[in-house]
């Protein structure tokens, strides 16, 4: 009798575990693969050289379609980011034409960019982008933090404890470096919800020149640009993690002090 009950329970449990898995398989979208990132974990920091390469990929490839409206050129020189020099940022911004005005004649005019300018958008408005590309390319300012995916039960309960916060970067990496697997359909992507994305594979090997000897491969480009997107989405990530650590250290110390204080105060009180 007991054995029957146990068996029944085991069957119900097995079904409960198998059912969601089966439901996932009938769907075309795959779960992104977890990557290791320098900025993960409580002591995570960005790799400056990687952010600089990532910016190069963003600038030469992605920014032809995607905007990053919250990013100013001068941010590229700030601590915690790619940390280009002030002179580099000045030279870089001057390569862009920025609309300004109106001038004294009441007309808008173009001038060379300055470090305080926002990164120029490739399209005047989303409608214009859609008319050309078939869909609106999302602004990249916060994309790496805005995109996530469901890890399902029980992993979503575990994630806060293992400090897993890189769902967005893992999704972007999987989408770009692993998702275009169909040779016949350039818009098929196994990581994009629905399996079909208006953006055809944007990167290919050798497309962007690196000067630091890093491999010029789709994998490397994608890692670098994803790290860059994470930084623009959370420019104060390093500061946040450092503060978090200090707070935890303080709380531990304080808890210790309280414990000994309590022991002293209550010593001999019977």
Q: Which of residues 93-132 bind ligand HEC (CB under 6 A)?
A: none
Distances (CA, A) of 182 to 34, 179, 197, 206, 252: 22, 9, 12, 21, 53
Q: Give the 3-state secondary structure of residue 63.
A: helix
Counting contacts by CB under 6 A, is residue 40 touching ligand HEC? no
Using CA atoms, how far apart are residues 160 and 247, in angstroms rounded to an integer? Answer: 17
Tell me which of 80, 137, 169, 179 binds ligand HEC, using CB under 6 A: 137
**Site membership for ligand HEC, residue 51 (CB under 6 A):** no
Interface pattern 191-210 for ligand HEC (x via CB under 6 A): ------xxx--xx-------
Cα distance between residue 74 and residue 88, in whole Å: 10
Q: Which of 188, 196, 230, 239 is nearest to 35 (CA)?
A: 230
Taking the complex as a whole, the smallest distance from the CB of residue 122 to ligand HEC amounts, in Å, to 8
Backbone angles phi, psi at 249, to 5 degrees: -60, -45
Residue 180 Cβ vs ligand HEC, minimum distance, rounded to whole Å: 12
CB of 96 to ligand HEC, least distance (A): 17
Q: Taking the complex as a whole, how short is the minimal distance between the CB of residue 172 and ligand HEC, in angstroms?
A: 5
CA 97 to chain centroid = 28
* Binding positions for ligand HEC, rule: CB under 6 A: 57, 61-62, 64-66, 133, 135, 137-138, 143, 147, 172, 175-176, 197-199, 202-203, 225
């Amino acid at each position: 009798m007991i054995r029957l009950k146990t068996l029944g329970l085991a069957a119900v449990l097995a079904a409960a575990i198998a059912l969601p898995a089966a439901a996932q398989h009938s769907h075309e979208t795959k779960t992104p693969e977890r990557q290791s990132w320098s900025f993960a974990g409580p002591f995570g920091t960005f790799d400056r050289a990687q952010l600089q390469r990532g910016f190069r990929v963003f600038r030469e490839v992605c920014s032809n379609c995607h905007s990053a409206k919250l990013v100013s050129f001068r941010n590229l020189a700030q601590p915690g980011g790619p940390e280009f020099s002030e002179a580099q940022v000045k030279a870089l911004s001057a390569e862009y034409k920025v609309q300004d005005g109106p001038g004294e004649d009441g007309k808008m005019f173009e001038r060379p960019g300055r470090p305080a300018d926002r990164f120029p958008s490739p399209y005047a408005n989303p409608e214009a982008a859609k008319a050309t590309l078939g869909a609106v390319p999302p602004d990249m300012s916060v994309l790496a933090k805005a995109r996530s995916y469901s890890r399902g039960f029980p992993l979503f309960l575990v994630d806060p404890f293992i400090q897993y916060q890189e769902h967005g970067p893992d999704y972007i990496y999987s989408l770009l470096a692993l998702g275009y697997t169909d040779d016949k359909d350039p818009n098929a992507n196994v990581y994009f919800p629905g399996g079909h994305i208006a953006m055809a594979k944007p990167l290919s090997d050798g497309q962007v020149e690196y000067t630091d000897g890093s491999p010029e491969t789709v994998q490397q480009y994608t890692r670098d640009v994803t790290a860059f997107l994470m930084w623009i989405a959370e420019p104060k990530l390093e500061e946040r993690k450092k503060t978090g650590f200090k707070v935890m250290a303080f709380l531990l110390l304080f808890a210790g002090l309280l414990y000994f204080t309590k022991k002293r105060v209550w010593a001999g009180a019977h």
